[in-house]
């Protein structure tokens, strides 16, 4: 099982250009499944050992541990992909996870921040490096709608302050150019000046106070701290700012296709999940545009 997992992860990296985050998630899920098989079988498992009964048992075990349906569905999808790869390689003659149904998931409409809440969140004061970095991170997340992984993966050479553009590496290692406004540019310029004094050990735009690249987890911690500082009465993640970016653009008349390009989505249906227009806005649009409203 270990050799098959290692070969599959190499395939994801070299042939499918999967992101490090995706590869890590697949690897952790397969390690968890392998540990379950080892516990049930009492020996080191092989890919040929897996069948529908064992996979169902694995999912039931996850359910007992209180794992969310979304996580179970992701793990099952990962197993399907893994076994499909082994079938293509001639290691297996059938995919034991193919016929299993994913857990029924509730469709949740993302809840974006209101514009006033975003203003409060982004109003970071202070001229010390930590404050300048926080302000630049929040301004850039909201100005561009980029993912947290894309933010921490940015290098200085990919930022054009004069043109107000930055090149990011998205899912599937697809590059795209995103735009940002004057406020984000000034926040970013102030941070890049302060960054020089921290003796950077990497080309990353956002570094920690020791000079290394800032991690995804650190960005989430900074945002959580900022939410507490402004006493925001709800949870907020980098993805919340991504939802808010798309929703506010749509509410002000941006075309959905343009938002799709800015977010880096391959499918328009994915973009539609990221946008939310409240009933009042829909009513206003209806009254303005319908001939018999």
Annotated catalytic sites, by residue?
147, 171, 239, 242, 265, 274
User: If DSSP states are collapsed to H, E and C, what string results for 199-218?
Assistant: CCCCCECCECCCCCECCHHH
Place of tokens 């930022």: 159
**What distance in Å separates the CA atoms of residue 154 and residue 217, rounded to the nearest whole number?**
16
**What distance in Å separates the CA atoms of residue 175 and residue 202, rounded to the nearest whole number?**
21
Assess contact for 216 and 152: CB atoms under 8 A: yes
Q: Mark 92-130 as b/e (b = at least 16 C-beta within 10 Å).
A: beebbbeeeeeeeeeeeeeebbeeebbebbbebeeeebe
Assess contact for 239 and 223: CB atoms under 8 A: no
Distance between first and last Cα of the chain:
64
Cα torsion angle, 39, 44, 46, 49, sign: negative
Strands 175-179 and 165-169: antiparallel
Q: Mark 70-83 as b/e (b = at least 16 C-beta within 10 Å).
A: eebbbbbebbbbbb
Assess contact for 115 and 151: CB atoms under 8 A: no
**What distance in Å separates the CA atoms of residue 157 and residue 36, rounded to the nearest whole number?**
45
Number of neighbouring beta carbons within 10 Å of residue 154: 20
Number of neighbouring beta carbons within 10 Å of residue 258: 12
């Amino acid at each position: 099982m270990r050799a098959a997992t290692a070969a599959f992860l190499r395939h994801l990296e070299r042939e499918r250009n999967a992101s490090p985050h995706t590869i890590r998630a697949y690897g952790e899920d397969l390690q968890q499944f392998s540990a379950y098989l080892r516990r049930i079988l009492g020996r080191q498992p092989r890919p040929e050992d897996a069948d529908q009964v064992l996979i169902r048992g694995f999912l039931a075990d996850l359910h007992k541990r209180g794992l969310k349906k979304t996580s179970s569905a992701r793990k099952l999808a990962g197993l399907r992909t893994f076994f499909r790869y082994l079938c293509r390689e001639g290691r297996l003659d059938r995919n034991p996870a193919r016929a299993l149904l994913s857990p029924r998931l509730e469709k949740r409409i993302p809840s974006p921040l209101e514009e006033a809440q975003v203003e409060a969140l982004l109003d970071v004061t202070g001229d010390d490096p930590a404050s300048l970095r926080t302000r630049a991170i929040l301004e850039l997340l909201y100005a561009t709608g980029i993912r947290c992984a894309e933010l921490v993966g940015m290098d200085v050479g990919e930022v054009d302050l004069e043109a107000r553009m930055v090149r990011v590496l998205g899912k599937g290692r697809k590059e795209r150019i995103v735009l940002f406004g004057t406020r984000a540019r000034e926040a970013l310029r102030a941070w890049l000046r302060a960054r020089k004094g921290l003796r950077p050990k990497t080309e990353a735009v956002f570094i920690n106070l020791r000079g290394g690249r800032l991690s995804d987890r650190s960005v989430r911690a900074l945002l959580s701290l900022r939410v507490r500082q402004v006493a925001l009465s709800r949870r907020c993640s980098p993805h919340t700012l991504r939802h808010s970016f798309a929703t506010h653009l749509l509410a002000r008349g941006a075309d959905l296709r343009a938002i799709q390009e800015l977010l880096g989505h391959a499918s328009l249906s994915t973009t539609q999940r990221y946008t939310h227009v409240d009933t009042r806005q829909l009513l206003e649009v209806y009254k303005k545009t319908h001939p018999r409203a």
